[in-house]
Amino acid sequence: MKLYNLVDFRQLRQCDTLTDRTRLFIGYLCNIKCRFCFYKNTPHVDIRDKIYQQLDWGKAYGIKDWDISGGEPPLLSYWFQLLEDMKQMGFRNIACITNGYKFADIEFLKESMDCGLNELLFSLHGKDPESHDKMTRVRGSHKKISHAIMNAMYEGIKIRINVVVARDNYTDLPAIAEQANRIEPVAFNFLPFRLENSASKENSLKFSQAMPYIKEAIDILDKGIKIRVRYVPFCVMQGYEEYVAMYLQRMFDEYEWSEYTVRKFEHVRFNRDVSELDCTEDKWELEIDAIHKSIKHVANHSFTCLNCKYLHICEGIWKSYSRVWGIDEFEPIHGEKIKSIMRRENNGIVKAVS
């Protein structure tokens, strides 16, 4: 069954404060070989000048928070200098998405914090050494990230957790959730594996396979943790809709990225200069237009979606997913159409707003 462009998301209205956070891409330098990596076999090129272009334009635009992302950012030879420079630029939160290798050294973590690092987003993909190391394809990687997390807890730095949900680890999710409760992260993100760039479909699985384990893990996670399930349609999250984080929901989330800036900074991934950000146009118009374009590039709706109450606030089914698994598992949720964006309250409850 085909997918179609059925919704113009640019008609939606702003209902909350837009995120002030974005990604700082530093290149593809990495020390592990994750099975699910979007960028495996992509050579690293030093893009130091492009990193600072992102920072300069982001500051001019009003970005306050950064998630430094690669690759593995702390492998940069100028890591501490980068943090110092970001601190001097006055940014509010400086976070690093990490596999934990460098931060397993507590002195490295302490120096990073002294230079301005105040958040860590750990990529934890297994409940034990066997399962995590299978995902990263590096023996000892679970030991490293475990030590890094313990160091982070000891030093009191803010912790978030990402878990890629793939064929090799989806049954581990409840056990990972139990571990997360002991870590006490401020946020926990489920990232169902997506077929992008060089990622292999052998790591993919159907939502109908993963959702029972994702929902069980959500039930286990402490209520004070902000929980998100990325890029899944509302129809597969019945009873758990408040945790859906598609493009439309992410733009109001303090720990998610501005899609407008991500799209404008995309050239950096190809070692091209950063596109200038429009610092005069209304930010809502820029953001919703960028989100509309991103959604239409990756996802569409089926005709059965026309009967779903979430039609106007759901990006639909990702095209890469439908090519592998089809769309038979998606059934509309009947009810009065919701035409206002679902947003996340501070207590984690999502509700419709006008």
pLDDT at 200: 58
CA distance 275 to 31: 29
Alpha-helical segments (H) within 137-184: 141-155, 173-183
Average pLDDT over residues 273-288: 93
Closest CA to 264 of 243, 283, 242: 283
pLDDT at 6: 76
> How many residues make up the chain in this entry?
354
pLDDT in tens, 58-68: 999 999 999 99
pLDDT at 347: 37
Q: Which CATH architecture has domain 16-282?
A: Alpha-Beta Barrel (3.20)
Question: Strands, DSSP E only, in the chain?
Answer: 21-25, 65-69, 93-98, 119-123, 158-165, 187-192, 226-230, 244-245, 299-300, 317-318, 342-344, 350-352
Q: How confident is the model at residue 342 (pLDDT cuts 50, 70, 90)?
A: low
Average pLDDT over residues 197-223: 87
Closest CA to 185 of 145, 156, 215: 156
Structure pTM? 0.93
Domain ranges of the chain: 16-282
Radius of gyration of the chain (CA): 20
pLDDT in tens, 131-180: 999 999 999 999 999 999 999 999 999 999 999 999 999 999 999 999 99
Average pLDDT over residues 291-319: 93
Q: Contact, 104 vs 147, CB < 8 A?
A: yes
pLDDT at 15: 79
CA distance 129 to 134: 8
pLDDT at 145: 98
Average pLDDT over residues 8-36: 90
> Looking at the predicted structure, is the pLDDT value of residue 271 above 60?
yes
Q: β-strand 244-245 against 119-123: which pairing, if any? A: unpaired
pLDDT at 352: 40
Q: β-strand 93-98 against 65-69: which pairing, if any? A: parallel
Q: What is the DSSP letter of 172?
A: G
